[in-house]
Amino acid sequence: MEGCVLSYINKMCLRMMGWCLLPTLFAVLVAWPMSVVLALLATAGGQPVLPDLPWQLASIGAAVTLLLWAYQMIRLWRWEHGKGDGCFVCGCLLGRERSGRWGPYRKCLGCGKNHSLQNAIS
């Protein structure tokens, strides 16, 4: 029985889109305890204070996630049309520029190989 094998393109899409969920996750993790505390304050007899704040916070997190997804979708669209730097091993998109021991490099989002920018600059 074969296991689930991700192709390089699937890995690239996962690496590009996965971290976009972080704003929504963070907003929900903040909004959930906040709604519990606000509900406790309301049941304790106090005035309801900012009852829509958790919902607004989660909505802002979802909006930021959608914006990040849109940006990544534009990058993928450009990659499909041959624009943007691609990996010479697998053809996937390259990640952001990083500085390493042997100079600046970019990591492939598909196969994970490092591509030196030393020769590309000079």
Q: Tell me which residues touch Zn ion (CB under 5 A).
A: 87, 89-90, 92, 108, 110-111
Closer of 59 and 114 to Zn ion (Cβ): 114
We find the least distance from the C-beta atom of residue 78 to Zn ion, in angstroms, to be: 17
Closer of 44 and 96 to Zn ion (Cβ): 96
Lookup result for tokens 């993790």: 29
We find the least distance from the C-beta atom of residue 101 to Zn ion, in angstroms, to be: 20
For 57, 61, 66, 92, 95, the CA distances from 23, given in Å and listed in that order, are: 10, 5, 10, 26, 20
Q: Is 54 helix (H, G, I), strand (E, B) or coil?
A: helix
We find the least distance from the C-beta atom of residue 119 to Zn ion, in angstroms, to be: 17
What does the alpha-carbon distance between residue 58 and residue 56 come to, in Å, rounded to a whole number?
Answer: 5
Closer of 9 and 30 to Zn ion (Cβ): 9
From the list 64, 80, 78, the residue with the least C-alpha distance to 19 is 64
Q: Is 91 helix (H, G, I), strand (E, B) or coil?
A: coil
Six-digit token string for 80:
């499909």
Closer of 38 and 92 to Zn ion (Cβ): 92
We find the least distance from the C-beta atom of residue 82 to Zn ion, in angstroms, to be: 16
